[in-house]
Amino acid sequence: MSEAQSPSYPEIRDAVRRLCADFPGEYWQRLDRDRIYPTEFVRTLTEAGFLSVLIPEQYGGSGLGLGAATAVLEEIHRSGCNGGACHAQMYTMGTLLKHGSEAQKQAYLPAIARGDLRLQAFGVTEPTAGTDTTRIRTFAKKVGDKYVVNGQKIWISRAEHSDLMVLLCRTTPREECAKPSDGMSVLLVDMREAEGKGLTIRPVRTMLNHATTELFFDDLEVPAAKLVGEEGKGFRYILSGMNAERILIASECIGDGRFFIDRATAYAKEREVFGRAIGTNQGVQFPIARAYVQIAAAAEMVAKAARLFDGGQDGGTEANMAKMLASEASWYAADMCVQTHGGFGFAEEYDIERKFRETRLYQVAPISTNLILSHVATHALGLPKSF
């Protein structure tokens, strides 16, 4: 792929739409029904180069910016597909790209770009820590030329379908650190070697087909050469990728919102009750119009956050605001779309109820709305932190 000719990336968007046309609603409904991973869809995206847009050309990727990546994910979701099965590869790869050694980059990035390796698992969240990442307990003890890992992770998506995992763990006890965020390190775990040899993966069935799992580490040995960056600085490495994650998730929400608006608009034009199209009623028109306005406004914030990120600026507040605005706008659009369709909105064949469930996730993950508001209050407004 070449850099598109305008900031909206029309060439990329058109190519993604054409690819997604081969994966209609029936495909996703079948997978959702039985909680099956969309292997064919992920393989097709990989072969088309869409999952390696952020990997520099020297490592076999396209070398494009986050703006291009947001265009890819937005169009995937607007087309009725779902990028949740593979979107982590885009932002998780950033930890390796920014903080990994040259040897690690050469060993993994070209293979990821080719599709020979999948880097889609991100091991951070734990049952007792939740969103307070500084309180994670999974511990990696340095023993000779390896780390021995013990602990537990929860809500880890795609672990069963990933070759590599970026794992955040403690290497120094929290009480021995000057700051709570110190003493954490990042390890690159080879899932193919680890499973059954200290790593147990347990599926967690949820309302979404996101291949969610719980991970248990019992004396898992990871070569010290798989340490990313410096020991004890892992929290900072993870944070550097979280802005990208939030912007990319926000772009998926924009795509979801436009999917719902497209479907509601078409249905309101076609569905006749009492001898006329329901779209002639302002009670139907206005919610659709409001959803359109909210998505358009949120999309501008997503674009701004992506520009800041690509420009190397500190856009943490903008990334958080983009994620909050987009997730709330997509949820409003989802609710509006179901209401417009009435009972048909709950029917599997219309494919709305699936997308309704999928877009609801993003007000909770990867960061909740309340935490975003807390960030804005303390970082943008200078209000005191609450404890």
Q: How far apart are CA 59 and CA 69, in angstroms?
A: 17
DSSP-derived secondary structure for 267-301: HHHH-EETTEEGGGSHHHHHHHHHHHHHHHHHHHH
SS (H, E, C) 55-82: CCHHHCCCCCCHHHHHHHHHHHHHCCCC
Q: What CA–CA distance (Å, rounded) separates 295 from 317?
A: 19
Given 74, 245, 318, 353, which residue is catalytic? 245
Task: Enumerate residues 6+ apart whose C-beta is below 8 A from 32.
Answer: 209, 354
| Cis peptide leading into residue 24 (ω within 30°) | no
DSSP conformation letters of 140-185: EEEETTEEEEEEEEEEEETGGG-SEEEEEEESS-GGGSSSTTSSEE
Nearest CA to 73 among 297, 291, 204, 259? 259
- Sequence-distant (≥ 6) Cβ neighbours of residue 281 within 8 angstroms: none
The helix or strand, by DSSP H or E, that contains position 313, with its residue range, turns out to be none
**Cβ count within 10 A of residue 39:** 11
Are 60 and 53 within 8 A, CB to CB? no
User: Are 12 and 6 in contact, with CB atoms under 8 Å apart?
Assistant: no
Q: Is 3 a catalytic residue?
A: no
In the beta sheet, which residues pair with residue 186? 168, 228
Which residues carry out catalysis?
Answer: 245
